[in-house]
């Protein structure tokens, strides 16, 4: 019954969306199910990440974890249950998160004295511990990261993009000065940008969120925003400068070098399994996934082609030889299954987004060559010599990574417009989508009207943009503030 409800919820969401949005939503769901990244679960709003999807998440984790460690952070683990009283200590934080909290009221067959919140994020419990650990300026900075699951009770869910339970990493830091905390928040945003562009092959805009879109309890929220292939935006990661809000709520005080007692300055930052959704929507095409080589669980797949048993023996031997040759440097898979035809396998691996496919038939064996197929361009290169194949493959993987990044950059450029007329703004948001750069007066009321009338939101106030004289796109009031609008996931 729940399974049906869950599928119905997804169907209802797709029905609400019209035309190309609905088509794209169907494509997204079908691609995930058919490429076996994830499946619906019997628990409403929650998904099962299947082995192929989890392998992709593991690649993301591995690369990002190293980057987090290289910037001085250590991993730790905190309980998933948070005493209810902790959540209420920071006023804005509880107001922001209370509506989506799951609450445990019973344990061991008894009603609990104090209900426990299943973490929607861990600022409160981590800062409770920070208060114990931070006594002196010598204890700072404290740089912690946690890989964990969190729960936010979502009414409208979508695989990887918005699920009730999801996996993520959350960084939490405490610093002696405001400047150090600010630098940290921006440094980690820089790490996310680096990861998005150099690993996921997705260009991102960086900047600050408006007050309306700010993390509950933060002073400033920074984000990376990517443009998907349907020209809708996706927030792919956030980094928050928390000021002293949580330090005051949890009494994280330290003896300064000068001898005074001061509150710590803090940050938090996170990315989640949503990144998998970004990769699917940012690169995929009508055939299915296109995975960036640096993160693909399988970078190269080898498909044997033969008709007779005699051919099979020589072809298999060669495929195994190629597999063993590439194994030390590449994530390679030899598809030995006999129940499927080569044509079926071609479609299968294309759908799963494997960057490079090597086709090996009897003539290739005889000629000491292989046929190479690229997933990103569909190009087939015949007669690639066996000698030096590992270098050829390494070069191609680099080329695919570069090509899909450049393609995404070009797509974003084509779909970024500078507008001054609200009429044009509205029709763009109805038909073309994309990023729209425009002036905004800074009033929340204008931001809200635009959202109401066009479903577009201010995605980001870019860091490096100079003030530019103009008129607010909505009210026509004088404005120097340039911002980026888009319809977003």
| Least separation in angstroms between CB 267 and Zn ion | 31
Contact criterion met (CB below 8 Å) for 376 and 398: no
Sheet order of strands, 165-175 included = 74-75, 142-151, 165-175, 265-272, 233-243, 220-227, 204-208, 457-462, 481-486, 435-440, 416-418
Q: Which is nearer to Zn ion, 125 or 446 (CB)?
A: 446
Q: Which is nearer to Zn ion, 446 or 461 (CB)?
A: 446
Q: Does 473 bind Zn ion (CB under 5 A)?
A: no
Q: Does 482 bind Zn ion (CB under 5 A)?
A: no
Pairing status of strand 435-440 against strand 416-418: parallel
Q: Which is nearer to Zn ion, 294 or 481 (CB)?
A: 481
3-state secondary structure of 428: helix
Q: Which is nearer to Zn ion, 67 or 443 (CB)?
A: 443
- DSSP 8-state class, residue 464: T
| Least separation in angstroms between CB 476 and Zn ion | 7
Q: Which is nearer to Zn ion, 408 or 483 (CB)?
A: 483
Q: Which is nearer to Zn ion, 44 or 426 (CB)?
A: 426
Query: What tokens does 201 get?
Result: 């092959």
| Least separation in angstroms between CB 472 and Zn ion | 3
- DSSP 8-state class, residue 357: E
3-state secondary structure of 427: helix
Q: Among the candidate windows 222-230, 361-369, 409-417, 471-479, which touches Zn ion by CB under 5 A?
A: 471-479
| Least separation in angstroms between CB 435 and Zn ion | 19
Q: Which is nearer to Zn ion, 156 or 455 (CB)?
A: 455
| Least separation in angstroms between CB 283 and Zn ion | 36
Q: Among the candidate windows 103-111, 215-223, 366-374, 470-478, which touches Zn ion by CB under 5 A?
A: 470-478
| Least separation in angstroms between CB 394 and Zn ion | 53
Count CA atoms closer than 13 A to 338's CA, side-chain side: 7
Q: Does 483 bind Zn ion (CB under 5 A)?
A: no
Contact criterion met (CB below 8 Å) for 234 and 488: yes
Separation of alpha carbons 62 and 353, rounded Å: 20
| Least separation in angstroms between CB 26 and Zn ion | 37
| Least separation in angstroms between CB 455 and Zn ion | 18
Q: Which is nearer to Zn ion, 112 or 443 (CB)?
A: 443
Residues 40-79 that bind Zn ion (CB under 5 A): none
Query: What tokens does 286 get?
Result: 């009508």
Q: Does 481 bind Zn ion (CB under 5 A)?
A: no
Residues 213-232 that bind Zn ion (CB under 5 A): none
- List Cβ neighbours of 194 (8 Å cut-off, separation of 6 or more): 67
Q: Among the candidate windows 144-152, 204-212, 402-410, 472-480, which touches Zn ion by CB under 5 A?
A: 472-480
Q: Among the candidate windows 49-57, 185-193, 324-332, 443-451, which touches Zn ion by CB under 5 A?
A: 443-451
Q: Does 441 bind Zn ion (CB under 5 A)?
A: yes
Out of 13, 129, 409, 475, which residue is the one contacting Zn ion (CB under 5 A)?
A: 475
Q: Which is nearer to Zn ion, 74 or 444 (CB)?
A: 444
Separation of alpha carbons 428 and 263, rounded Å: 47
Residue 471 CB burial class (10 angstroms; 0-12, 13-18, ≥19): middle
Q: Does 94 bind Zn ion (CB under 5 A)?
A: no
What secondary structure does DSSP assign to 181-222, as a single string? HHHHHHHHHHHHHHHHHHTS---EEEEE--GGGS-TT-SEEE
Contact criterion met (CB below 8 Å) for 280 and 286: no
Q: Among the candidate windows 137-145, 219-227, 352-360, 440-448, which touches Zn ion by CB under 5 A?
A: 440-448
Q: Which is nearer to Zn ion, 386 or 443 (CB)?
A: 443
Q: Does 370 bind Zn ion (CB under 5 A)?
A: no
Q: Which residue, 285, 265, 357, is CA-closest to 319? A: 357
3-state secondary structure of 307: coil
Q: Which is nearer to Zn ion, 181 or 473 (CB)?
A: 473
| Least separation in angstroms between CB 478 and Zn ion | 9
- DSSP 8-state class, residue 432: I
Pairing status of strand 356-360 against strand 457-462: unpaired
Residue 8 CB burial class (10 angstroms; 0-12, 13-18, ≥19): exposed
CA 65 to chain centre: 14
Contact criterion met (CB below 8 Å) for 17 and 4: no
| Least separation in angstroms between CB 467 and Zn ion | 16
Q: Does 472 bind Zn ion (CB under 5 A)?
A: yes
Q: Does 446 bind Zn ion (CB under 5 A)?
A: yes
* 18 CB neighbour count, 10 Å cutoff: 8
Q: Which is nearer to Zn ion, 258 or 469 (CB)?
A: 469
Residue given tokens 């861990």 in the structure block: 122
| Least separation in angstroms between CB 443 and Zn ion | 5
| Least separation in angstroms between CB 462 and Zn ion | 19
Residue 156 CB burial class (10 angstroms; 0-12, 13-18, ≥19): exposed
- Report the interface residues with Zn ion, using CB under 5 A: 441, 443, 446, 472, 474-475, 477
């Amino acid at each position: 019954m729940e399974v049906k409800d869950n599928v119905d919820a997804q169907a209802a969401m797709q029905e609400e969306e019209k035309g190309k949005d609905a088509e794209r939503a169907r494509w997204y769901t079908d691609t995930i199910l058919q490429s076996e990244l994830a499946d619906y679960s019997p628990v409403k709003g929650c998904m099962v990440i299947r082995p192929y999807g989890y392998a992709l998440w593991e690649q993301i984790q591995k690369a990002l974890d190293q980057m987090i460690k290289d910037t001085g952070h250590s991993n730790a683990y905190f309980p998933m249950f948070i005493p209810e009283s902790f959540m209420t200590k920071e006023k804005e934080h509880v107001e922001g998160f209370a509506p989506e909290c799951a609450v445990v009221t019973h344990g061991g067959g008894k009603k609990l004295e104090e209900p426990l919140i299943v973490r929607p994020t861990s600022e409160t419990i981590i800062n409770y511990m920070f208060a114990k650990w931070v006594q002196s300026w010598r204890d700072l900075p404290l740089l912690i990261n946690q890989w964990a699951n969190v729960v936010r009770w979502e009414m409208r869910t979508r695989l990887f993009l918005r699920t009730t339970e999801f996996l993520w990493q959350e960084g939490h830091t405490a610093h002696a000065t405001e400047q150090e905390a600010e630098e940290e928040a921006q440094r980690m945003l820089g790490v996310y940008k680096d990861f998005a562009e150099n690993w996921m092959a997705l260009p991102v805009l960086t900047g600050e969120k408006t007050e309306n879109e700010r993390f509950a309890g933060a002073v400033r929220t920074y984000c990376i925003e990517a443009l998907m292939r349907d020209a809708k935006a996706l927030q792919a990661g956030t980094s928050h400068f928390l000021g002293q809000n949580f330090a005051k709520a949890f009494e994280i005080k330290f003896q300064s070098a000068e001898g005074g007692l001061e509150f710590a300055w803090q940050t938090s930052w996170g990315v989640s399994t949503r990144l998998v959704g970004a990769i699917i929507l940012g690169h995929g095409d009508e055939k299915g996934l296109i995975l960036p080589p640096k993160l693909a669980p399988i970078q190269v797949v080898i498909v044997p082609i033969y008709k007779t048993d005699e051919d099979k023996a020589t072809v298999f031997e060669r495929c195994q030889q190629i597999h063993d040759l590439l194994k030390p440097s590449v994530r390679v898979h030899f598809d030995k299954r006999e129940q499927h035809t080569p044509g079926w396998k071609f479609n299968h691996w294309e759908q799963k987004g494997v960057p490079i496919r090597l086709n090996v038939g009897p003539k290739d064996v005889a000629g000491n060559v292989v046929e190479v197929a690229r997933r990103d361009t569909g190009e087939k290169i015949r007669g690639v010599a066996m000698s030096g194949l590992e270098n050829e493959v390494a070069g191609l993987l680099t080329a695919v990574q570069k090509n899909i990044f450049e393609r995404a950059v070009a797509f974003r450029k084509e779909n970024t417009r500078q507008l001054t007329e609200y009429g044009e703004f509205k029709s763009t948001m109805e038909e073309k989508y994309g990023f729209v750069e425009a002036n905004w007066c800074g009033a929340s009321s204008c931001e809200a009207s635009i959202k109401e009338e066009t479903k577009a939101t201010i995605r980001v106030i870019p860091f490096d943009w100079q003030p530019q004289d103009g008129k607010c796109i909505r009210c026509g009031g004088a404005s120097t503030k340039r911002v980026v609008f888009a319809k977003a996931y």
